[in-house]
Structure 1
């Protein structure tokens, strides 16, 4: 059985990855449409061995289409997602617009697949923030065993999380530092990103946290367990692709590091690379293009009664965005559309 699938935002970083992953995973497709804004109408996009021509999302009729994967930002989503949903097309949205609405499922398939049953309330499913998605894949199997009380996470987020403009700025600033007179001032970011780190992602909130940090708190509670306390510090680093996280976890029950390692080795979507030797861990460069969430540096935290530390790395354009959206589409196909 094949599905009629539309990808909105097909010319952007995440939209292109959605098309790549749909092809790589041999998603059952009867027909596929690449959608973009009017200015990108006619632009060609790759889908496996095929070349798709972008259609104007403004005039696209979603009637008769099974699913639409959105990667167009909150403002455009506010216009087009309700239109698609009303036409009977299930929207899987990568923006932050719907994540915190109680009647819209927020899903990481390895963690809370049953939430997909709530899709027909509004015909929209939200894809979580990139930094949250990889973290909850690691947290859920440990939570099931020992019950997590509190999480302290520091992120090291690549510039691709800020889109093509972020990647271009890192590239151009790096080149400019070596060529006198060609220095590039910050534009996408608030300070120089080349050879620097910036402890600021998204806007500041009244309590001093940033919106990115707030997202990790709210989304972890919605996806895993509302009782978990989360505090986050989110930092942009001069890496093109791949988010990293240093995660400290406090449990209600004791969990030995060896048992935790065994649990994570069996967890869906997780790959443990944890050797206590030079290079016995995964870095962002090594995770690019991979589906897995990589876990390393698993060790006991002796400063609290039931604590563990771990290092978590994933391709943010894949698991943090496009891959998770495609996995949700696979889930919708199996659990919703096949029941018909």
Structure 2
């Protein structure tokens, strides 16, 4: 007995990755529906050995499914998620729309799995921001051991975080630099090929961007509102994989060896940390992988209890699609997915 699952936004980068991971982890799917906008009706996507044609979001009867994986953007989620949840299935949403709603759990299974227990308030569970997801997997075990006081983060975010248009723009600009000159930017505010852009999202009145604010708000909701956190989000010319330089100040002493051992024993993490030219991870090696990788663990001598880390993950996987499927697995393990449609 499996579940009837709908993937909304099935033709996008994350939607296609959701389909791949559902098959990879052998999630118990009885029937899979690929849902998209009207313009994508009939477009074919792959699910294992099956080829599935996309169905129309406007016409689909969501009361016939048990689980909806939503990755169609904030506008669609805002318009549809509550209606879908009211029809019965649980919605796992990848947009920022519901993350800070007090009646919607924001979940990374390695960090706050028990929060899925109150998903029935709206039948919606939110996926965090891609950069937040990998960050909290690394922070949680350290916070439990030594209580985090303050975190300073600089992100190095790949263009896939901006969707297929971002990936296409990097590819086209990189290719054309050597021919006719880089094509003008469309998706990004400035040229991304051979460049870095210290701006993601939109500016707030305080000078930070909404992408940066998402990270500290989500850390507060999932781990501890007392943690002070400041962020600079940077777009870099990498196709897939987000990286973060993380500086942490603790209330209690913790040395780098203890932190290294603690992280090695924590779920969802792999530590690659040797002091040679192959002893650290880059986004290239993390691409296609499930875990969050931690490298460059070292003492920060400028504060009493400080450490610096390098944190890398595949943003399309742990940062989005994988985390959503792991939430679905958690719901399944705890008996919280109702098979109403198969009764």
If the TM-score is normalised by the length of the shorter chain, which range does it land in?
A: over 0.9
Give the structure 2 partner of residue 310 of structure 1. 309
Give the structure 2 partner of residue 77 of structure 1. 77
1:163-203 Cα distance to aligned partner (Å, 9 max, x none): 000000000111111112x5310110010000000000000
Q: Answer yes or no: is 1:277 the counterpart of 2:276.
A: yes
Gaps of 5+ in 2: none
Instruction: Give the superposition deviation at 1:339.
Output: 8.1
Matches within 5 A, 1:288-327: 288-327=287-326
Query: What is the RMSD computed on CA atoms of the aligned residues?
Result: 1.0
Q: Distance in 2 between matches of 1:224 and 1:278?
A: 34
Verify the 8 A CA contact 1:117 1:336 in the aligned structure 2.
no
Q: Answer yes or no: is 1:132 the counterpart of 2:132.
A: yes
Verify the 8 A CA contact 1:296 1:312 in the aligned structure 2.
yes
Q: Answer yes or no: is 1:229 the counterpart of 2:228.
A: yes
Give the structure 1 partner of residue 171 of structure 2. 171
Verify the 8 A CA contact 1:217 1:231 in the aligned structure 2.
yes
Instruction: Give the superposition deviation at 1:64.
Output: 3.0
SS of the residue aligned with 1:255? coil
Q: Answer yes or no: is 1:58 the counterpart of 2:49.
A: no
SS of the residue aligned with 1:172? helix
Q: Distance in 2 between matches of 1:312 and 1:43?
A: 37
Instruction: Give the superposition deviation at 1:338.
Output: 6.0
SS of the residue aligned with 1:63? helix
Q: Distance in 1 between matches of 2:60 and 2:336?
A: 22
Q: Distance in 1 between matches of 2:61 and 2:174?
A: 44
Give the structure 2 partner of residue 6 of structure 1. 6
Instruction: Return structure 1 stretches of 4+ with deviation > 2 angstroms.
Output: 336-340
Q: Distance in 2 between matches of 1:337 and 1:244?
A: 34
Q: Distance in 2 between matches of 1:339 and 1:305?
A: 50
Q: Distance in 2 between matches of 1:7 and 1:110?
A: 23
Instruction: Give the superposition deviation at 1:50.
Output: 1.1
Instruction: Give the superposition deviation at 1:333.
Output: 1.4
Q: Distance in 2 between matches of 1:241 and 1:59?
A: 34
Give the structure 2 partner of residue 145 of structure 1. 145
Q: Distance in 1 between matches of 2:19 and 2:218?
A: 26
Instruction: Give the superposition deviation at 1:216.
Output: 0.5
1:54-104 Cα distance to aligned partner (Å, 9 max, x none): 101110001131110000001011122122111101000000000011110
Matches within 5 A, 1:1-340: 1-180=1-180, 183-337=182-336
Q: Distance in 2 between matches of 1:183 and 1:326?
A: 38
Verify the 8 A CA contact 2:67 2:337 in the aligned structure 1.
no
Q: Distance in 2 between matches of 1:337 and 1:151?
A: 34
Instruction: Give the superposition deviation at 1:2.
Output: 1.1
TM-score (norm 1): 0.98
Verify the 8 A CA contact 2:109 2:326 in the aligned structure 1.
yes
SS of the residue aligned with 1:239? coil
Q: Distance in 2 between matches of 1:208 and 1:183?
A: 29
SS of the residue aligned with 1:125? strand
SS of the residue aligned with 2:31? strand
TM-score (norm 2): 0.97
Q: Distance in 1 between matches of 2:273 and 2:182?
A: 40
Q: Distance in 2 between matches of 1:309 and 1:183?
A: 36
Instruction: Give the superposition deviation at 1:250.
Output: 0.5
Q: Distance in 2 between matches of 1:286 and 1:47?
A: 25
1:260-295 Cα distance to aligned partner (Å, 9 max, x none): 000000110000000101121000000000001000
Q: Distance in 2 between matches of 1:222 and 1:78?
A: 20
Verify the 8 A CA contact 1:170 1:193 in the aligned structure 2.
yes
